[in-house]
Chains A and B, each alone.
Chain A
Amino acid sequence: MAKYILRRFLFSFFTLIGATAIVFGLSRVVGDPRDLFAQEGGYGVTEETYEHLTKMLNLDKPIYMQYFIWLGKVVRGDLGRSLLGQKDVSDLIGEKVLNTLELTIFSWILSTIIGIPLGVLSAVKRGSFWDYAGRSIALIGQAAPPFVIAIIGILVFAVQLGWLPAGSGESHLLKGFIRGITKGDFSLIPAFFTGGWKHYVLPVGTLGLAASASYLRLTRSSMLEILDSEYIKLARAKGVSEKDVIWKHALKNALIPPLTLAALIFVGFLTGTIIVETVFVWPGLGLLATTAVSENDFTVMTGSVLLFAVFYTVVIFLSDLTYGLVDPRIRYS
Chain B
Amino acid sequence: MTLSTKIGIDEPSFLEKKLPYYKSIKKFLSFFQKWPVIPVFFISILILLAVFADITGYDPELPALRDRTLPMFSEPVDPLTKDLTRHWLGADQFGRDTLTRIMHGARITLYVLFISAISGTIIGTSYGLIAGFFGGFIDDILMRILDLVYSIPFLLLALVAAIVFNPSLTVVIILLAFLAWPAFVRNVRAEILTLKERDYILYARVAGASKFRLMYKHLLPGVINTVIVIATLRIGQLILAEASLSFLGAGVPPPTPVWGALVAEGRDYLNSAWWVSIFPSLGIFLVVMSLNFLGDWFRDRFDPRLRQL
A313 and B14: CB pair below 8 A? Answer: no
Q: State whether A274 and B248 are in contact (beta carbons under 8 Å apart), knowing that A23-B156, A128-B14, A151-B281 are contacts in the complex.
A: yes
- For A291-325 the 0/1 string (1 means CB < 8 A from B) is 00110100001000100110011001000000000
Interface residues on B, range: 35 or more
Tell me if A109 counts as interface (CB < 8 A to partner B).
no
B151 and A316: CB pair below 8 A? Answer: yes
B contact face: mostly helix, strand, loop, or mixed: helix
Contacting residues, chain A, for B164 (C-beta < 8 A): 26-27, 29-31
Q: Distance in Å from the Cβ of A240 to the closest Cβ of chain B?
A: 10
Q: Which of A126, A140, A271 contacts B155 (CB 8 A)?
A: A271
Q: Distance in Å from the Cβ of A327 to the closest Cβ of chain B?
A: 16
Tell me if B243 counts as interface (CB < 8 A to partner A).
yes
Contacting residues, chain A, for B13 (C-beta < 8 A): 126-128
Tell me if B19 counts as interface (CB < 8 A to partner A).
no
Tell me if B207 counts as interface (CB < 8 A to partner A).
no
Residue among B7, B8, B247 with the highest chain A CB neighbour number at 10 A: B247
Which chain B residues numbered 284 to 299 have a C-beta less than 8 Å away from chain A? 284-286, 288-289, 292
Tell me if B240 counts as interface (CB < 8 A to partner A).
yes
Complexed CA–CA distance, A236 and B2 (Å): 12
Tell me if A278 counts as interface (CB < 8 A to partner B).
yes
B14 and A15: CB pair below 8 A? Answer: no
B1 and A242: CB pair below 8 A? Answer: yes
Contacting residues, chain B, for A147 (C-beta < 8 A): 243-244, 247, 260, 263-264
Which are the 8 A-B pairs with shortest beta-carbon distances?
A127-B13, A143-B289, A148-B281, A143-B288, A242-B1, A15-B151, A18-B148, A293-B159
Q: List 22 A-B contacts (CB under 8 A).
A: A19-B151, A27-B160, A30-B164, A31-B163, A129-B14, A131-B14, A142-B292, A143-B286, A143-B288, A148-B285, A155-B270, A242-B6, A271-B155, A274-B159, A275-B244, A290-B159, A290-B248, A296-B163, A301-B160, A305-B160, A309-B151, A312-B151
Report A's interface with B, CB cutoff 8 A: 11, 14-15, 18-19, 22-23, 26-27, 29-31, 126-129, 131-132, 139-140, 142-148, 151-152, 154-155, 159, 228, 233, 236, 242, 270-271, 274-275, 278-279, 289-290, 293-294, 296, 301, 305, 308-309, 312-313, 316
